[in-house]
Structure 1
Amino acid sequence: MQFLNGKEERMWAMIVHLSAFLGFVVPFGNVLGPLIVWLIKREEGAFFYQHGKEALNFSISVTIYAAISSLLIIIFIGALLLGALFIFWAIFVIMAAVKANEGKEFRYPLTLRFIK
């Protein structure tokens, strides 16, 4: 196992956040992208480990929120919730990627912490 240097670790931390956009191409890619990147690189640095765990928890949380919003389409509020959730998700993924690239910690709001 090789530990990443600071610049490379920041780059991978940014990639783990941005890999959530894989959801535009692959079903559940928003969870699979961060999961795969995190599983491959998780032991190569504490900074990356934290960002990967945070990105994965956020992706799982957003998927749950999207499922609930989809069910609420029946009472017409779900479409609004899905739109707001999409904007919320995109903005915070980009913010997290920028913070990771700057070498700073980032905690997503409204995230259920499945992976401790």
Structure 2
Amino acid sequence: MFAHLSALVGGLLTSALGGWGFFIGPLVIWLMKKDEMPFVADQAKEALNFNITVSAIFLLLLIFTILTIGIGALLTIPVALVVGIGALVLVILAAIKANEGVAYRYPLTIRLVK
């Protein structure tokens, strides 16, 4: 559960820097527990992959906005809001499921960390 919720804390703590700390908490938990607790490691890895994917989406939206000299913001701001709210909902669902002992798999996630 903490692996999923630590992404929110990391994002809030780095919000002054653009909120790019979403993946730090799950990464730390995965690195610390990957050999000791298989379920915790699995969920931390899942949270890490999801937050890397969400961060990549936000980066692509930012690049698109910059390349269009801000005009693309008419498209990217609503998309970013939808992605952000969706990510928040999915993280909360994942934390609840992990707390119940059920392995949660985020939809539409690129699984970079195997």
Is TM > 0.5 for Structure 1 vs Structure 2? yes
Secondary structure of the residue aligned to 1:24 is helix
After superposing on structure 2, the runs of 4+ consecutive aligned residues of structure 1 that deviate more than 3 Å are none
Q: Tell me whether 1:56 sits opposite 2:48 in the alignment.
A: yes
By percentage of residues, which structure has more helix?
1
- Normalised by the length of structure 2, the TM-score is 0.84
Give 2:24's match in structure 1, choosing from 18, 26, 32. Answer: 32
Instruction: Indicate conservation of the 8 Å contact 2:29/2:41, yes or no.
Output: no
Query: Which position in structure 2 is the counterpart of 1:20?
Result: 7
Equivalence map 1:39-50=2 (5 Å): 39-50=31-42
Give the number of equivalent residue pairs: 103
The percent identity for this pair of structures is: 39
Q: For residues 77 and 87 of structure 2, what CA distance do their matches in structure 1 show?
A: 15
Q: Which runs of 5+ in 1 are unaligned?
A: 1-13
Root-mean-square deviation (CA), in Å?
Answer: 1.2
